[in-house]
Amino acid sequence: MDSHIDSHAVTRLEIVEMGRRRRWPDATKLRIVEESYSGPRLVSATARRHGISNQLLHLWRRAWREGRLGGEAAGGFVPAVIVPEMAATSGTPVSGTAGRIEVVSANGRRLIVERDVDVEALIRIVQALERLA
């Protein structure tokens, strides 16, 4: 029976953690959050691509908006693109709507305002809509 007993002393023991909890550097979180804002309805796809839950990505997005994630604070503004408005039926530019502005926020919400809109009020509205994301 003694021949089945391993009498070798353990010289090295390594413990490998197999849990799912990971540590994410702020720079990586910021890159993932920016990717999730790069187009409409990209939260789920971005979360899946990086192997994280939607809830965790939403927590990171909230932290970014509150300025706790580093990087540039969330202003919610993206580069403007000016294109002529097209008529729904003919596909030709509409000239009677000159002076209307369409604002699309980073979370995909759209606002269409007239050219004489109070800019400070518009900024407050856009900021409030960004907080609802």
Q: Has residue 8 been placed in a domain? A: no
Please write the tens of the pLDDT for every residue from 67-115.
888 766 555 555 666 666 665 555 555 555 567 888 777 667 788 888 8
Residues facing 111 on adjacent strands: 103
* Range(s) of the domain holding residue 119: 76-133
Look at residue 101 and give its three-state secondary structure. Answer: strand
Residues 106 and 56 in one domain: no
Domain count of the fold of the chain: 2
Give me the percent of the chain exceeding a pLDDT of 90: 9
Residues 70 and 59 in one domain: yes
